Amino acid sequence: MTPLPPPTPDAAAPPGLRHGGCACGALRFEARGEPLHVGLCHCMTCRRRHGAPFNAFATYAAADVRWHGPDSRWRSGERSYRLGCATCGSPIFWADDAGDYVELHLGSFDEIGTLAPQYEIWTLRREPWLAPLPVAQYERDRPGEAA
């Protein structure tokens, strides 16, 4: 993951790039290529961070994500942190300390409807009124993964 220079006015986006950012527009990102996977998380940290019953995210290799703008970070796990806009407070992504992966929140992408969840994690925390999606279900983390 590397800082992104401010955008050039009227610059056309090259194919294979997805753009997004915060609510106020001060923090912007671009993600190159397709995500490694897309999921929903029902864990208490995601629920509280987003003020919502779950977080929808797309996981990218950190090298494929660039951003610019005022950011605010906080440690959310033993080996991870979360980044949001320092101006408006919008949460933008989760990242591992190793610098391998970034989980971009689907609600922060400019285009809607282009990415769909492939699995749900922490389903033991799912709201009882929320029906499971017809995708793989995991009570906690996916096997071999831990935040």
Task: Tell me the domain boundaries of the chain.
Answer: 16-137
Report how far residue 32's alpha carbon sits from residue 30's, in angstroms, rounded to the nearest whole number.
7
**In this predicted model, what pLDDT tens digit does every residue of 46-63 receive, in sequence order?**
999 899 999 999 999 999
The span from the CA of 1 to the CA of 63, in Å, is 5
What DSSP character marks residue 95?
Answer: E
pTM for this one?
0.85
Whether the Cβ atoms of residue 121 and residue 40 lie closer than 8 Å to each other: yes
Residue 48 parent element (H or E): helix 44-50
- Report the SS3 class of residue 22: coil
CB atoms within 10 A of CB 28: 20
Distance, in Å, from the CA atom of 123 to the CA atom of 4, rounded to the nearest integer, reads 35
User: Could you report the average pLDDT of every consecutive run of 10 residues in the chain (147 residues)?
Assistant: 52 77 97 97 93 96 95 88 94 90 96 96 97 97 75
Looking at the domain 16-137, which fold is it?
A: glutathione-dependent formaldehyde- activating enzyme (gfa) (3.90.1590)
Tokens matching residue 20: 């997004």
The Cα 37–Cα 50 span in angstroms is: 20
Q: What is the pLDDT of residue 101?
A: 93
Q: What is the pLDDT of residue 10?
A: 45
pLDDT of residue 9: 42
Cβ atoms of residues 121 and 128 within 8 Å = no
